[in-house]
Structure 1
Amino acid sequence: MFQPYQDLLDGKPGYQGEIAEYLPDPIAVGAVGGSGTRVIAQILADTGITMSTPKNQSNDALEWPPMRALMNNPELAGIPLTLRYRQAFNGLEKLLHLKRHQEGNSDGRAGWKVPGTHIWLEQLAAFFPQMQYIHIMRNGLDMAYSDNQQQLKLWGSLYGVEASSSLDEKASPEDALEYWLRANEKVLEFGRATLGDRLHIIRFEELCTAPQATVASMLSFLQMDATIEETHRLSSGIRRPATIDRYLSNDWQSTFSKQQLARVEALGYLPGKHNA
C-alpha cells in the first residue's frame, strides 16, 4: 500500500495542509454504478490526460485511497475525519503527480475514474479547489434492475438506504432505485450550488445515441479544442448496450411508488418512455 495511506491507517497522519499542493485541478469521473465511466476514462486518456492506473477490468483507480478503512477503522477514531480525508487526498494527488511526470506530462491535466467519487464530492471539492467533475447519469429505472449493486451494498447506509452486504443476496429494485435517486439528487444539489460550471453531466443514453456530440460537449467543458475528426475518432468505439430500457420488460409500474417515479422524472427520465 502507498506509504501515506499506510501511515494514516497506522494512526500517523503526516499531511497537515488543507488544499492540494501539486494538482489543484484534477478531472474526476463518477457515477452511480458503472454507467459508462470506463468509456469516458478511456476517452480522456486518449486525449493525453494522465488518468489513474486501472486496477481491474473497470479501469478503477489503483491510486484511489482505501476509503472504507479510513472511514470505519475504530483505531482512527481519535483523528478527525476531515484530517483523514485531507491525508488521503494528498496521497492521491502525489500519486497522480508522479504518474504524469513519468508520462512526460508534468504540466498537463490528470485525473481518475472511480464511480463512487460522488460520495465524497464535497470533501474532494474542498481539497481540490479547481477540480472538474464529470458525472455520468443512467436511467435509474434501468439501474434498479442491474446486477451492479456494489455501491448500494457498500455505501447505501450513507444515504439512509440499508441493503444486505452479502454478495449472494440481491437488493430489491425499490432499494436500488432509492439509492440512485438520493445519490443523484445530492450530486445535482451540491454540484449546482458549489461546483457550478465545474460540474458536467453526461447522460449515458445520449452518449450511446449521439456519441460524437456528447464527447465534443465534454471536451468543451474541459476547455480542450478538438476537430470533428478527433471527436469522431474518440467516440467511434461507443456502442448502445442491449440493457438500455431493460426496465420496460419488468413490472416497474407496480414495483415503484408514485413518489419515486416522480423523482425519476424530475431527474430527466420519463417513466415508460424509451430512452434510446
Structure 2
Amino acid sequence: MDVLKRLENEISPIAIGGVGGSGTRLLASCLEELNYYIGSDLNKAKDNLWFTLLFKHIDVLKYSNEQIHDLLNIFLQGMLTKEPLTQEQQNIVKALIHEHRHLPVEFFQERANSLFSSHEETPITRNWAWKEPNTHIILDRLVNLMPNMKYIHVMRNGLDMAHSANQNQQFLWGEKFIGKNFKQTPHYSLKYWCIVHKRLLEITKSMGSNFLLINYDNFCINPGTEIPKLLDFLNVPIKERNIDKLKSFIKPPVSIGRYKQFSKTIFDQEDIDFVETLGFNT
C-alpha cells in the first residue's frame, strides 16, 4: 500500500533534527505540550525510534529514491494508519536490523517488533511530528517525497558542541562527510558541525516558510521572544498560556559558553568564522 501517494495532500508533518546534543529534546517536549503526536516508541530523549530503525544507518546515503520511498511508506504506515505492514515490508525492516549499526542488534529487533504491532494502536487524529536528530542527513530526500513537511533544525554554538560528550552523530557520519582522515577530536567535531550546517542551508533554500532554524542558546535565554516564533511557524495561536506552558520546559544548560574553557587554536579559523556568521559568540 502506498500511504505516501494515498495521503499526499494530507501528509504535512513537523520534523525536528539537529547535531546530537543540540537541544532537540526541548523542541519535542514543546510539540507534545501543544498536542502533537510524536510517536509511541520513543527513548528518553524523545527520539522516534522507528525513524532511527529505518533511516539511521550509513547505507541510507546510498539508497535509491525508490528505497527511500519504500522506507518512508513503512514509517508513515506505522505512524498514521491501523493497517499492518505487508510481509514484503516486514522483510525490508528485518533486513535493516542487521545494517551497520551504532547499537546492539537486540535494540533494533525491539524497534522492529514495536513497528510490526503499530496497527494495534489508535491512529492519530491530530497534528503529528517526529524528532530524530539525524533527520537532517536525508532531509533533501524527505522534502522531495513530502513537499508539505515542515522542518525545525535546532542549532547550538559549534564551539560548545565540539567539546560535548555527545559525539554519536559525528562518529556515525563523520567519515562520510569529512573523509578518511576523520578522527574523534574537538577539531573534527567542529568541522563536522560546519559541513552539516552549510549543507543544511543549501537544502533548505527551497523550503521557504516550511523551515525554521532555532538558535538553542537564544531560545533558552530569550523565551519570550523565541517561543512566539515557534508558535507562528506551527500556526498555533500566540496566547500567553501557550507561551507560559512552553517556558516551563526551558532550563538553560550550564554548558552554554563552555568553549571559553578551552583554547581555540585546535580549530581551523575558517570554521570559527562560520560559527560566527550563524550568530554565535566565538
* Fold agreement, TM-score > 0.5: yes
Say whether the 8 Å CA contact 1:159–1:182 is kept in structure 2.
Answer: yes
Tell me the equivalent position of 1:50.
Answer: 37
1:67 aligned onto 2:55? yes
Instruction: Write out aligned runs for 1:265-276 (5 A).
Output: 265-271=276-282
Say whether the 8 Å CA contact 1:134–1:201 is kept in structure 2.
Answer: yes
Match for residue 269 of structure 2 among 250, 258, 271: 258
Say whether the 8 Å CA contact 2:19–2:155 is kept in structure 1.
Answer: yes
Tell me the equivalent position of 1:98.
Answer: 81
Say whether the 8 Å CA contact 1:144–1:173 is kept in structure 2.
Answer: yes
Stretches of structure 2 lacking an aligned partner (at least 5 in a row): 83-117
Stretches of structure 1 lacking an aligned partner (at least 5 in a row): 1-13, 165-169, 272-276
Does the residue aligned with 1:51 lie in a helix, a strand or coil? coil
Instruction: Identify the structure with bigger relative contact order (alpha carbons < 8 Å, sequence gap 6+).
Output: 2
* Structure that is richer in helix per residue: 2
Say whether the 8 Å CA contact 1:208–1:240 is kept in structure 2.
Answer: yes
Tell me the equivalent position of 1:37.
Answer: 24
* Identity across matched positions, percent: 30
Q: How far apart are 1:16 and its partner, in Å?
A: 9.9
Distance 2:158 2:274 in 1: 10
Does the residue aligned with 2:77 lie in a helix, a strand or coil? helix
Number of paired residues? 245
Tell me the equivalent position of 1:122.
Answer: 140
Task: For 1:122, give the aligned amino acid.
Answer: D
Task: For 2:189, give the aligned amino acid.
Answer: A
What are the superposed Cα offsets for residues 140-183 of structure 1, whole Å, 9 maximum, x if unpaired? 0000001111111111233224577xxxxx71111000000010
Sort the Cα spacing of 1:209 and 1:132 in 2 relative to 1 into closer, same or farther, 3 A.
Answer: same
What are the superposed Cα offsets for residues 56-108 of structure 1, whole Å, 9 maximum, x if unpaired? 211110221432558269xxx9xx621110111111111221389956742x2
Tell me the equivalent position of 2:111.
Answer: none
- Cα RMSD for the two superposed structures: 2.7
Q: How far apart are 1:113 and its partner, in Å?
A: 0.2
Distance 1:256 1:70 in 2: 26
Say whether the 8 Å CA contact 1:20–1:127 is kept in structure 2.
Answer: no
1:216 aligned onto 2:228? yes
Match for residue 87 of structure 1 among 70, 83, 95: 70
Distance 2:14 2:3 in 1: 23
Does the residue aligned with 1:63 lie in a helix, a strand or coil? helix
Distance 2:64 2:5 in 1: 13
* Normalised TM-score (structure 1): 0.80
* Normalised TM-score (structure 2): 0.78
